[in-house]
Structure 1
Amino acid sequence: MSKFLYKETSLLEEASGCLLCNEAPCTKACPHQLEIDKIIRCYRFDNKAGAINRLPLSSPCQSCVDTPCVAACLKGKVGAPVPIPDMFEKLSTYEKITRKEVDLSIDFCGVSCENPFFLSSSVVGSNYEMVAKAFDMGWAGVAFKTIGTFVPKEVSPRFDALKKEAVPFVGFKNIEQISDHTLEENLAFIRDLKRDYPTKVFVASIMGQTEEEWTYLAKVVTEAGADIIECNFSCPHMAADGLGSDVGQSPKLVEAYTKATRKGTHLPILAKMTPNIGNMEIPALAAVQAGANGIAAINTIKSIMNVDLDSFVSGPFVVGKTSVGGYSGKAVKPIALRFIQTMKAHNGLMDIPMSGMGGIETWRDAFEFMALGCENIQVTTSVMQYGYRIIDDMIEGMQYYLSTHGFCNVKEIVGKALVHTISAEELERDSICYPKFDRMKCIGCGRCYLSCYDGGHQALKQDEHTKKPVMNAKKCVGCHLCVLVCPVKAISAGTRVKKKEQ
């Protein structure tokens, strides 16, 4: 029982411990030619079905006495190697899933896209070679790194990451500015990419300093062959006033620069919004009324992180100093989703196409944005961590989800979650959903007791002999803090009952 439970609860932890090596030695060492690295990556990136279906019906790992894959695992050089045979033994007990044909193609702002997954405007899409590689691997489009009439002078270093316990990349900070290529070089990239990849979608992100520059940039990227123009009204750390998020916080500037952009192009225009504001729908509406066809949200959040204990300087450290930068990564996803939902709930914006970004690492993250109304998804920070290869599991994971849930086309999920988000005043407040405890799964660690007593309503205690939780229903308010902290998923939502009259 304990061995089975260990495997059940530790599978994701073990997959997350994999170093995700390039040209993985474990795969090269496998005498059975299993795609070991791909299987682990599938499971890690929420594509469980893809992992299961890549294993043969009878696991060949059982016949491997020397386990050459484990011996080759580079994680063994810094600690314990990934227990590949144990992981695959557990995965092989799951039933294989049949995937039906589904359609991931979707129109966005009138432009046909083979799938909804784009690179967002950043270093991950900043020259021909990078974008060509991404297109070859399956990305449907790119919002190219922001093009201006000037080349910024960059700092070094320019990146930092926020850590939590063993997780090294909860959040990410950058103080990088717009493209470090000249306007002529960037226009050549557009022309070459559209020549070589005519069916892929090129979004030209632009940033001007005056109305005339916005018009001029729109004109030249249109002539170069861009499919969509994205107005960067939201970069949080440009060095000059009147650029980036300084624009996005001013509906008047958003309106003026959108109108100026419209003068230079017939292409669809996206207004990229800043989250450094209370009500994003106000500048978004100004952009739409001025001629924007869609909204892109969110850009990074102004941030400071990682103050050093010795130098008192926060990261990234640039000759003993730093500056406010842009915060991205998984931790910003709930903030991004809130802004998307608020805009899609606005009468003036509910029918406006949305390109969603902010903390998207897996197909499941993308699903959440699409369920809240986005037809298009943009990704940066996850690519910076794991590479373009994450597109494999984004596509396959979404295909498995759609296939197993009765959807034929990805367009069918767009906006389906919106109806379920209501005002706080409308929420049901006359009942309690009590937690349900699985005594077989519970290992008696007491985490639920600690959280309930020290951070909840003192409704749990530990049995003196079994160490398993005992609930006092008179004190339990159904907050479900215990559900969230249980490390082995032994607590779930249980019975909902009407509150007793006071």
Structure 2
Amino acid sequence: MSPLSAFAAKNESDGCLLCHDAPCTKHCPQGQDPAGVLLAYRFDNVIGAFAKASGDVCASCELQTCQAHCVKSKIDRPVDIKGFMMFASAGAAETNTEAIDSNVDLSIDFCGVHCENPFFLSSSVVASNYEMVARAFEMGWGGACFKTVGTFVPEEVSPRFAGIRKEGNSFIGFKNIEQISDHTLEENLSYFRKLKKDYPNKVLIASILGQNEAEWTYLAKVVTEAGADIIECNFSCPHMSGDGLGSDVGQDPELVYKYTKATLAGTHLPVLAKMTPNVGNMEPPAIAAMEAGATGIAAINTIKSIMNVDLGSFGSEPSVEGKSCVGGYSGKTVKPIALRFIHDMKKHFQLSAAPISGMGGIETWRDAAEFMAMGCENLQVTTSVMQYGYRVIDDMIDGMKRYLQSQGYTKIQEIVGKALPNLVSSEALNRQSIAYPKFDRIKCIGCGRCYVSCDDGGHQALTLTSDRTPRLLADKCVGCHLCAVVCPVGAISTGTRVAHKH
């Protein structure tokens, strides 16, 4: 039996159900952790996956009890665990999987507060009581932004979550219509006190939401007294059932200014203003917050959305007795939008020095590194945890450390803002040359996807030969690289850049 190809291995890891207390690992007679290897590979921690599978013990195993206990076999076929583990073992033999140097440091100071790592739970159901946050701290999260507290307990609806899928992906985006904490203020304050007593070195951010200036000041005062390290002002929840709350505030720079001032009147702690993406430009409310005295910015909150219209009943999701409402959209697909808003703020002369806690589509260490390269010094995660659990922190930490080590960095602070100089105005881009696509004939499988897309959505610059491989018509090609975007096996890359022929 031969190891899987990289393409097949990716399909196997993507198809794994990522089971809790995975039966495949529990029943491995060789003491391997196939579930951990599959999860690491799935979350872009390729070297970490290879390191966990070092030693080709699976090749000689004939029992395959791991695969016999694969839960996926109940709905389809089992994951090809043996083939995948042989692939990972082969990768380990060809890749530098040396141990992570102890000098690689993920700690970072944010708003004057020392954090053991930048990975925090964001203000949501994933950080909504003592037991949950304590468990996350035990697993390695550097901090948590507790679910938003107020002086009132909202009446919630059921159900309040929905997902959106695309082709073989069961989950690419997420909608919620959940409001602030469903615990009383006193209950939440008791959680804060106990968390800080039991985990003094973890960072606790208190997210607050007031209904007027007096409430913002009062909430700031009581969460400060309860032991919070930082306060986050929720100016951005898109579906609060009441006027003058959430994104209603974030869309109005004058209210942002007023409520930031009111918050500062009740605390000496650093204050973050959490921004809504439901605006054309985030800079005006962010500037208002900083002018009012905020320490930094948190961005982005969820995006107003409507999801999944049932074409039988014409109701939408989540369906509450056939009715729904505009809710907040999150998940991997909002990452480009979040990065754009953060970029715009970091490039603005009045905001370039503002510390930013970034969120919106962070699932892997690579997503996290992109946010830090855009200028964030702190990261908040929700939707990934809701899908996969707190355990994603393992590969976020391991993957980030391995990345930093591979690039010669010793401190995570070194990558903050590194991408900003490479993002310029559209007028500053080179428009005097063209980069033609380059085709890898060995990788190409002859599916014709590049040809279809170029013919129907591009510039008709490809033909297919008799053996179904693409041939470039250079006189028609404009170098748009749509072909590379749609290629399912990565057989098309950027070739040599040449001057335009005028």
TM-score range (shorter-chain normalised) is over 0.9
Aligned mates of 1:436, 1:36 — CA distance in 2: 36
2:423 equivalent among 416, 421, 424: 421
Matched, 1:87 2:89: no
Q: For residue 500 of structure 1, what is the aligned residue in structure 2?
A: 501
Shift of 1:169: 1.1
**Corresponding position of 1:483:** 484
Q: Is the 8 A contact 2:54 2:88 kept in 1?
A: no
Matching of residues 380-399 of structure 1 within 5 Å:
380-399=382-401
RMSD (Å), alpha carbons: 0.9
- Equivalent residue, structure 2, for 1:365: 367
2:258 to 229, 247, 256: 256
Which of 441, 454, 457 is the aligned partner of 2:456? 454
Matches within 5 A, 1:260-299: 260-299=262-301
Superposed CA offset, 1:108-162 (max 9, x none): 0000000000000000000000000000000000000000000000000000001
Q: 1:49 aligns with which of 32, 44, 47?
A: 47
Residue 310 of structure 1: CA displacement? 1.0
Give the aligned partner of residue 180 of structure 1: 182
* Residues 7 and 86 in structure 1, CA contact (< 8 A), matched pair in contact too: no
Moved more, 334-343 or 86-95: 86-95
What SS does structure 1 have at the residue aligned with 2:206?
strand
The structure 1 residue matched to 2:60, chosen from 63, 83, 88, is: 63
Query: What is the rounded CA distance, in whole Å, between the counterparts of 2:17 and 2:294 in structure 1?
Result: 43
SS in 2 for 1:93: helix
Quote the sequence identity (%): 66
Q: Could you tell me how far 1:90 is from its partner in structure 2?
A: 1.5
Tell me which moved more, 66-75 or 409-418.
66-75
The answer on whether the counterparts of 1:445 and 1:467 sit within 8 Å (CA) in structure 2 is yes
Q: 1:440 is matched by which residue type in structure 2?
A: I
CA displacement 1:153-182 (0-9 Å, x = unmatched): 000000000100111111100000000000
- The residue aligned with 2:23 is 25
Partners in 1 of 2:256 and 2:8 — Cα distance? 49
Q: Which runs of 5+ in 1 are unaligned?
A: none
- In the alignment, structure 2 segments of 5+ residues that lack a partner are none
Match of residue 75, structure 1, among 72, 94, 97: 72
Deviations 1:54-99 (A, max 9, x none): 1133x11122213111101010111010001111111222224223
In the TM superposition, residue 320 of structure 1 has moved relative to its aligned partner by 1.0
Looking at structure 2, the residues matched to 443 and 319 of structure 1 have their Cα atoms a distance apart, in angstroms, of 48
Letter in 2 for 1:288: M
Quick check: 1:377 aligned with 2:379? Answer: yes
What CA distance in whole angstroms lies between the structure 2 residues aligned with 1:34 and 1:444? 37
Q: Which amino acid letter does the alignment assign opposite residue 495 of structure 2?
A: G
State the partner residue of 2:224. Answer: 222
1:230 deviation in Å? 0.1
Structure 1 stretch 86-95 or stretch 147-156: which is displaced more?
86-95
Identify which range, 92-101 or 40-49, moves more after superposition.
92-101
Q: In structure 1, how many angstroms separate the alpha carbons of the residues matched to 2:26 and 2:63?
A: 15
Q: In 1, distance between residues paired with 2:199 and 2:281? A: 38
Contact in 2 for aligned 1:294/1:352 (Cα 8 Å): yes
Q: Name the amino acid aligned to 2:474.
A: A
Asked if the contact 1:432/1:477 (under 8 Å) is kept, the reply is: yes
**Aligned positions, number:** 496
Q: 1-side partners of 2:429 and 2:185: how far apart?
A: 52
SS at 2:410 equivalent? coil
Report the AA paired with residue 87 of structure 1: F
Pick aligned residue for 1:16 from 7, 14, 17? 14
Q: Deviations over 1:23-56 (max 9, x none)?
A: 1100011001101111111100011111101113
Q: Which of 134, 146, 149 is 1:147 aligned to?
A: 149
Aligned to 2:331: 329
Distance 2:147 2:38 in 1: 31
Q: Is the 8 A contact 1:52 1:96 kept in 2?
A: no
Deviations 1:403-432 (A, max 9, x none): 010001000000000000000011000000
Residues 1:201 and 2:203 are matched in the alignment? yes
| Contact 2:34 2:85 survives alignment (8 Å) | no
TM value normalised by structure 1: 0.98
Opposite residue 225 of structure 1, the aligned amino acid is G
Give the distance between the partners of 1:16 and 1:65, measured in 2 at CA.
Answer: 25
Aligned equivalents of 1:112, 1:76: Cα separation in 2? 46
- Corresponding residue for 1:132? 134
SS of equivalent residue, structure 1 residue 61 = coil
